[in-house]
Structures are given as C-alpha cells and as structure tokens.
Structure 1
Amino acid sequence: MLERRVVRFGGTGGLASFTHIVVAFSWLYLLSSSVFIANIVGFLCAFGLSYLLQSRFVFQVKITTQNAKRFLWFNSVHSWCHNFLARSSKTVITMFACCLWYS
C-alpha cells in the first residue's frame, strides 16, 4: 500500500508541475500576459489539481475547506523552506569554493 501511495504521490506532483508549466506558458504566449500573472494562474491551477488528486487519489480523504487550508499552509511552508535552503546552500557552496580558490 505504501509503495502505491508513493508512486501516486510522485505522479500527482509531476502532473501538477506539468499543469503549472502548460498553463503559465499558455497565458504567457497565447494571451500575452505578464510573467507574474501567468505564474499565478499556473500555480492556482496546479495547486487545485494537486489538492484534488492528492486528497482523492493518493490519500483517499474527503475534500474539505479545512484540509485545503492545511494543504495550502504546508505547501507555502515547504516552498519557503525550499527557496531559503536553495539560496543558503548556494551561498555556502560559493563561499567554500572561494576559500579553496584563494587558499
């Protein structure tokens, strides 16, 4: 059961990412929208699809407002941590490389 859930989780994540890309590019190139607006619309579509698929297909729970709020909170925290760690690790790697280069 766990293996199936992991595969479903990865598949829904991949589908949500693909949805974000397709919607954002469509808004950007077909509707001549700004990059900011295109990404917001892409994110909202991907977020909605991800929530629906993960709720019903992966975890098989009811779709409720409270679950949607938790899903949004978790994804927001995850995104912030990912961005923070990505920037921090680049800084550390750059500093380490400079120390090796100049030593």
Structure 2
Amino acid sequence: MFDGQPKETIFYETVDGVRPFEEWADGLRDRQALARIEKRLIRLSAGNPGDYKSVGAGVYELRIDHGPGYRLYFSFSGQQIVLLLCGGVKATQAADITAAHDYWQDFQERKDR
C-alpha cells in the first residue's frame, strides 16, 4: 500500500470516543522515544514507513528500535488513509496485536453501517 505517495493519517476512535494510540503515546515519558515516534509518523504520512510488517488480518506493525522496542499498529482505510490503531512495546506485543485486530474489526464494522 505504500507507493511513496503521501497518506492522510487518522486515529482510530472507539465508540466511546477513546483514541487508544493517543492514550498510549500520552503515557510515554521517554522524550527520545516520543521524538522517534513522531518522526516515524511523519515518514508514514509521507508514504515512507520504514521498518514495518504485516501481523495479519489487514493490520501492520511499525517497529522502532529504541528502548523497550516500541511498536505502532496501523491499517489502511482505502488507498490514501493510514489508520493508527494502538501502540506498545516488544514485551506486550502479543496483547497489542490482539487489541489492534479488535480495533481494526470494530472500525470496519462501524464504517460499513
């Protein structure tokens, strides 16, 4: 889906108005990590995501090699929109992937209504 073209980046929001990615990022205290995450999000929006892989069911994981191994989970809504689902670290990867899949499924179900 990355063709070098800019993408609009939006945040997944639960039915209750919670944005899991923003909540996770707001809880980070490592300023270097926040700067690296922001830099990667800028690259992602520019169509150049760097190190990422599929974790199945239309969800992708962006890896950031810093500290505990930060992970950003996203999907695509159409050709030009990147949907940020949630974030985490290597130690919580399995639970974060499950949450990202759940968020993506919820987004698709509500979008189709």
Structure number, greater radius of gyration: 1
Q: TM-score, normalised by structure 2?
A: 0.35
Q: TM-score, normalised by structure 1?
A: 0.38
More helix by share: 1
